[in-house]
């Protein structure tokens, strides 16, 4: 017979088996901000928890709180895991603003449109350039999505001029600055609030990769899609260090074996898979999908060059003195990845 013990970081004692009983079970709380239909939930987080549970022989169990639950707020993932309200959290580096200024440099326009390249750069730079942003946390993975698009309702966007004055939902400070330089009016909104605000015509569009278009049902309230691929957005998957320390050595090994170098390389293929339904749904709905032309891309690149300089200066002024060095290291790691992967 097993004794079930629910442990969170609010608890200070290790789960111990009762005298004469079998091994105690530890239940870890996991939170994230995406709906349970999303690939991050179905292909990544649920299978990850199942693999750890199997590896521990049932010693470690999990309770998952996705979007729509009390613990599923995108703006609270970092603070929840730091405070021990949850043991493990998956969140966006850019929400709320300023928590991860070093890691968020990967969001800068024209660094890459490849989830694999951005993910590789983040993971390679974690030990030295990014580590101080994760004090008190065990980093299980860092990753980023494929190049983002401009999705709009009612107005087709092909050029900067088309963006002028449009209210576009933004996911991070770097993308907000990008949109402003391109003439749009960025609107900070959690992903789960985009549908309602499009439906009510509070916003004119959003920047997203293809995957949230499907998981949030946005093809119902969109008309046009510009495959721009000028930016990416990054995510963290982290565990409270106290929660990790409270586990048995065997359970810690199971966490390690299913995380880090054994988890990070999976994201490139996952994002390709997750993006597909969004694009397929737009085609089925008869939406117009346009690719940013080479000429227009060159114009965007020229327009955004001052924005990149200004943003780096802003991050430096906020206390990240080596922001440019980190940015350059990201460029180098992305180039390294692209050379190795054709």
Q: In the prediction, which pLDDT does 5 show?
A: 30
172 Cβ partners below 8 Å, 6+ apart? 92, 93, 94, 95, 97, 104, 107, 233
- Number of residues that this document lists for the chain: 342
Banded model confidence at residue 16, pLDDT cuts 50, 70, 90: very low
What pLDDT is stored for residue 19 in this prediction? 34
136-146 mean pLDDT: 98
pLDDT at 181: 97
Dihedral sign computed on CA atoms, order 81, 84, 86, 88: positive
* DSSP β-bridge partners for residue 4: 25
Residue pointed to by tokens 């609010």: 10
Res. 24 pLDDT band, cuts 50 70 90: confident
Kindly indicate the confidence band of residue 342, based on its pLDDT and cuts at 50, 70 and 90.
Answer: confident
SS3 sequence of 198-240: HHCCCCCEEEECCHHHHHCCHHHCCCEEEECCCCCCEEEEEEE
Please, which pLDDT band fits residue 4 given cuts at 50, 70 and 90? very low
Query: Hey, CA dihedral for 31, 277, 258, 264, is it positive or negative?
Result: negative
**Three-state secondary structure call for residue 78:** helix
pLDDT tens per residue, range 285-341: 999 999 999 999 999 999 999 999 999 999 999 999 999 999 999 999 999 999 999
**Cα–Cα distance for residue pair 184/176, rounded to 1 Å:** 9
Write out pLDDT tens, residues 178-219: 999 999 999 999 888 999 999 999 999 999 999 999 999 999
Q: How is residue 150 written in tokens?
A: 């401009």
Could you tell me the pTM of the whole model?
Answer: 0.89
Q: Which residues of 35-54 are buried (b: 16+ CB within 10 A; e: fewer)?
A: bbebbbbeebbbebbebbbe
% of residues, the chain, pLDDT over 90: 89
Rounded Cα–Cα distance for residues 208 and 211 (Å): 8
| pLDDT of residue 10 exceeding 50 | no
pLDDT at 251: 98
Is the predicted pLDDT of residue 18 greater than 60, yes or no? no
Mean pLDDT of the 3-7 span: 31
The per-residue pLDDT of the chain, averaged, comes to 92
What is the per-residue pLDDT across 143-185, written as a single tens digit (0 to 9) for each? 999 999 999 999 999 999 999 999 999 988 899 999 999 999 9
């Amino acid at each position: 017979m097993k004794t079930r013990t629910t442990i969170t970081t609010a608890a200070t004692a290790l789960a111990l088996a009762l005298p004469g009983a079998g091994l105690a079970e530890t239940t870890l709380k996991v939170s994230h901000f995406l709906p349970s239909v999303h690939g991050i939930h179905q292909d990544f987080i649920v299978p990850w928890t199942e693999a750890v549970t199997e590896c521990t022989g049932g010693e470690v169990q999990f309770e998952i709180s996705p979007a729509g639950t009390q613990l599923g707020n995108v703006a609270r993932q970092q603070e929840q895991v730091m405070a021990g309200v949850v043991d493990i959290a998956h969140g966006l580096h850019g929400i709320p603003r300023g928590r991860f200024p070093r890691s968020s440099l990967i969001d800068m326009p024209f660094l890459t449109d490849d989830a694999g390249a951005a993910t590789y750069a983040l993971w390679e730079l974690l030990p030295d350039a990014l580590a101080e942003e994760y004090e008190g946390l065990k980093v299980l993975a860092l990753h980023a999505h494929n190049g983002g698009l401009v999705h709009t309702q009612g107005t087709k966007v092909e050029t900067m001029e088309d963006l002028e004055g449009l209210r576009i939902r933004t996911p991070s400070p770097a993308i907000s600055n990008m949109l402003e330089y391109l003439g749009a009016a960025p609107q900070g909104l959690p992903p789960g609030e985009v549908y309602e605000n499009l439906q009510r015509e509070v916003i004119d569009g959003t920047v997203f990769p293809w995957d949230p278009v499907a998981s949030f049902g946005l093809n119902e309230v969109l008309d046009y899609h510009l495959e721009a691929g000028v930016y990416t957005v990054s995510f963290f998957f982290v565990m409270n260090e106290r929660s990790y320390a409270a586990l048995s050595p065997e359970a810690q090994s199971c966490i390690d074996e299913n995380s880090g170098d054994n988890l990070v390389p999976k994201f490139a293929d996952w994002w390709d898979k997750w993006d597909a339904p969004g694009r397929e749904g737009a085609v089925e709905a008869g939406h117009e999908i346009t690719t940013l032309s080479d000429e227009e891309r060159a114009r965007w690149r020229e327009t955004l060059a001052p924005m990149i300089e200004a943003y780096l200066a802003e991050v430096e002024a906020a206390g990240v003195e080596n922001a440019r060095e980190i940015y350059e290291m990201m460029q180098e790691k992305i180039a390294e990845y692209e050379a190795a992967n054709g």
